[in-house]
Amino acid sequence: MTPPSEPRTKQLTRVLSQLWRRVFGAADVGLSASGGVTRKSANWVPIRSLSSRHKPRIARHLRALPAQDRYLRFGYAATDEQIDRYVAGLNFKRDEIFGVFNRRLELVAMAHLAYSVDPQWATCAEFGVSVSSHQRGKGFGAKLFGHAVMHARNQGVNLLFIHALSENVAMLKIARHAGAAVQRDGSESEAYLSLPQATLDSQISGLVQEQMAELDYQLKMQANQFRQWLATVQEIRQGVRDARQTSRGP
């Protein structure tokens, strides 16, 4: 007689095997509008959840955005002071903020998934994203959007909202590609994406990707610390060589 738990055990094993191949096969995991998992590109991007301790990095990333990018991200030409207020007001307990770090642990792309504070709209969330100008063309915006969709689904969100300027072609293209309905009202556009319910696949996928991104971050941190140590050692060695040369005289 087949144990009652066997079908779920087989399902879990199958999902874990698929996730192992996706992550270690360096394939990006995306979500279609119908909730299916798709392979989007050959490059996996580690997307890490941010916390309040990352506020200085977030501020540096946003402050480094050129005027036009600030305009597209916030809907107005945000000043440094306005960006600082935005960063100070981030609620890491309620919302989810994700980021992509380069090998030097500089934040080069980030997304803000803001959950509704109104109980009437408890199953709704808003998405916003920014990418450093020198990191364009790598698909970070689309990858962050897919990551946010997965997390939103797992939190019970069924409607994802995007408010963007109509000239923000890149963001609206990402939304349309995901199946969102886009409504234009003059200089502004609104996109609505209905999300399917969470599945075992989406829940485990979110967990695995989070763990892999954390491992990637820790490795980058160790590498960065080693480079700093190596630079210090080389500086000391050079100082010793210079001192010896001086003591020998001309």
pLDDT at 29: 39
pLDDT winner (highest mean) among 11-15, 96-100, 183-187, 192-196: 96-100
pLDDT digits (tens, 9 = 90+) for 131-150: 999 998 899 999 999 999 99
Residue among 133, 107, 111 at smallest CA distance from 54: 107
Answer whether residue 40 shows pLDDT above 90. no
Q: How far apart are CA 211 and CA 98, in angstroms?
A: 13
What pLDDT band is residue 79 in, cutting at 50, 70 and 90? very high
Higher pLDDT, 4 or 152: 152
- Whole-number pLDDT of residue 37: 39
pLDDT confidence of residue 63: 97
Q: Categorize the per-residue pLDDT at 28 as very low, low, confident or very high, splitting at 50, 70 and 90.
A: very low
Q: Is the pTM of this model over 0.85?
A: no
Please report the pLDDT score of residue 25 as a whole number: 45
Each residue of 222-249: pLDDT tens digit? 766 766 766 776 766 666 566 666 666 5
Chain segment 90-112, per-residue pLDDT in tens = 999 999 999 999 988 899 999 99
Is the per-residue pLDDT at 171 higher than 60?
A: yes
Whether pLDDT at 195 is above 60: yes
